[in-house]
Amino acid sequence: MERAIGKAERLLQIESLLLSYPEGLTQAEIARRIGVNRSTVHRCLPDLGRFAVHEMEDGRLAIDRDHYLMNVRLTLHESMALHLAARLMATRSDKQNPHAAAVLRKLGLALEKLAPRVSAHLKSSAEVMEDQAQRFDPVYLAVLETLTRAWSDGRVAHVWHKMEDGRVFDYRFAPYFIEPYAVGRTTHVIGWRRPPDALRTLKLERIQRAELTDEPYSIPDDFDPREILADAWGIWYTDAEPVEVVLRFHPRVASRVRETQWHRSERLEEQADGSLLWRARVAEPREMLNWIRGWGAEVEVLAPEQLREKMREEARRLAQTYGWDVHHPTPADQVDQEHRFFDEFFGSGA
């Protein structure tokens, strides 16, 4: 019994040691560090497979981090929090992600006895995430896995990125942070790009290929994604001062607007007629356009003027698309006609 306990402890020692040395260690180095003979380490080799330990070409032992199983103990409510996060990702992504599905399935199996009803839904969610109705994009998955490994190991990646105009450029890229973007159902990576030797954000869906290099990198101590994205509506950030956005919401939707905090800087002002003034300081107001469009005629952009003019122009184009002959001899008439068009088109005039 003592021998078995001693061996189990040695296995845990080797596991912990190799986790601290992702580049691997020789059997002699492992033996020296844990204070045993090299032959003792050699006898442990058949049992190290459970920790995803493999022997590299140069004889060093290392943990295969892509297949290493981490021991995580969760409460019922912590499991539900993870379930909600994975489900949110599933409903905001059009691509299959077998890793997310595997997480839900493992959670479901772990909760079979403790919470069978929750367990059943977790396993069902895993099946939904693997549904062929979702688009399987092997390039996206390979890029995500490569950048995850680069971020984890601190190794620069070589990426080939396609611009909106179709041109493809290749860069050396050091990932600092990977961020999902619910609005566009996309994923973005923030990191240091060469060229131009500056912080940049790349959309994963536009990266056609990614390869790991042996070049190491470190993330600056002062890099904080929370600070960078603090004023962003989603993923767009800027070094300039944030812009104040002012919106007026119709009384019909005022209560719905109040139910959700849409931005960390938002301020709400109740109006005498029941409408709601919404104010926030946003890094790039153009990123809000899809959200503003979604409210239709129930919202009016008051500031900034560039954003207001953008919505005016869209009102004119919508009117032309749906057969309205919009004449506006005066600015007041113009605004009135656009408002009436939006009211009728979006059914809010009743």
Residues of the chain with pLDDT under 70: 1-5, 132-135, 325-350
Residue 334: predicted pLDDT:
54
Place of tokens 């959200």: 291
Question: CA 198 to CA 79: how far, in whole Å?
Answer: 39
- Predicted confidence at residue 73, as pLDDT, reads 84
Both structure tokens of 310 = 């953008």
pLDDT value at residue 326: 60
List the structure tokens of 9: 């402890």
What CA–CA distance (Å, rounded) separates 323 from 304?
Answer: 29
Q: Which two tokens stand for residue 153?
A: 């190991």
pLDDT at residue number 246: 98
Q: Is 49 exposed, middle or buried (0-12, 13-18, 19+ CB in 10 A)?
A: exposed
Burial of 288 (0-12, 13-18, 19+ CB in 10 A): buried
Confidence (pLDDT) at 320: 87
The pLDDT value given to residue 239: 81
Model confidence over 32-58: pLDDT tens digits? 988 888 888 888 888 888 888 988 888
What local confidence, expressed as pLDDT, does residue 344 receive?
Answer: 53
Residue appearing with tokens 């990576």 = 189
Q: How many CA atoms lie within 13 A of 197 on its CB side?
A: 0
pLDDT reported for residue 95: 77
Q: State residue 301's pLDDT score.
A: 97
pLDDT value of position 2: 41
Query: Angle at CA 233, nearest 5°, toward 229 and 237?
Result: 45
pTM here?
Answer: 0.72
